[in-house]
Amino acid sequence: MLTNKLRPHIACFYDFARCADDIADDPEMGTEEKIKRLEGFEEALLGKGNGNSAFQKALNMHESLKESGVSPQHCRDLLCAFKQDAIKSRYDDWADLISYCALSAAPVGRYMIDLHGEPDMSYERSDSLCSALQLINHLQDIGSDYRTLDRVYLPMNWVRDAGLNLIDLNCNEATPALRQVLEWTLVGINEQLGDSENLHASLSSVRLSLETSIIYQIARKLHQKLRENDPLSKHIKLSKLELASCSIKGVATGLLCKF
């Protein structure tokens, strides 16, 4: 399947994931209602619903999956993560957090790999990159996630070991205890990035390989900025110049392994 023919499927997947995520993240919606709507999404995804237009994004995804031949499991895993978000706001340890990422982040990479007809052997490194990106995003939003949704995507055993009071996530700057937990988390993210470093080289699709290489460089740069800056005092993001630099480096690295 040509890349330009994949774009509608990718857009459909993005719309499906975003709509379901918005349900899970709605601060005004109760837990039971969130679960009910997400279950309706899953029914529509599997073609078992009654065509309810409230689940149009899932209905569209069902048709997309039929056309592309990609398994619905990746979408179902995402829905499991969103249901988990509706009922769970704390994570016991690093393994618990990574298990969440296996549902909330890894399916995105797996879907892209399957859509491009890549072998399953790429899953492991893709899972690591997606987990790293998810965890980086959680650190970027650590304050707002706590204030608006009462969610803390940090290993609670590390929180206890550092003597961190979660109320400090309401502050405008990180306390020494929070900085310690952030550093431990960033070490874990660095390991995930190390495991995914050569993912782009294992992909046969040149376009997907280059895009993956760019994403990896962006993740590396964000990781560096989180080590050097405080996510409570300002939103950590890349400037246009930094994004351009990551793109150039990513393309150059990707092309070197292909030609």
Residue 54 has pLDDT above 90, yes or no: no
* Residue type for position 88: K
What pLDDT digit, counting tens, does each position of 60-99 carry? 999 999 999 999 999 999 999 999 999 999 999 999 999 9
pLDDT at 1: 43
In angstroms, the Cα distances linking 204 to 81, 137, 201, 229 are 29, 28, 8, 37
Mean pLDDT of 4-11: 92
Counted residue by residue, the chain has a size of 259
What pLDDT digit, counting tens, does each position of 119-165 carry? 877 799 999 999 999 999 999 999 999 999 999 999 999 999 999 99
* Residue type for position 126: S
Residue 117 has pLDDT above 60, yes or no: yes
What pLDDT digit, counting tens, does each position of 194-243 carry? 999 999 999 988 999 999 999 999 999 999 999 999 999 999 999 999 99
Q: Computed over its alpha carbons, how large is the radius of gyration of the chain?
A: 19
Q: What is the pTM of this model?
A: 0.93
CB-based burial, 54-93: b 16+ in 10 Å, e otherwise:
ebebbbbbbebbeebebebebbebbbbbbbebbeeeebee
Residues 1/110/46/81 CA torsion (nearest 10 deg): -150
Residues contacting residue 25 through CB under 8 Å, at least 6 positions apart? 85, 149
**Mean pLDDT (the chain, rounded):** 93
What pLDDT digit, counting tens, does each position of 18-43 carry? 999 999 999 899 999 999 999 999 99
- Burial of residue 197 (number of CB atoms within 10 Å: 0-12, 13-18, 19+): middle
Residue 2 has pLDDT above 50, yes or no: no
Residue 179 has pLDDT above 70, yes or no: yes
Q: How far is CA 2 from the centre of its chain?
A: 26
Q: Are 106 and 77 spatial neighbours (Cβ–Cβ below 8 Å)?
A: yes
- When pLDDT is cut at 50, 70 and 90, the band that residue 48 belongs to is confident
Residue 192 tokens, joined: 């995930």
pLDDT at 142: 97
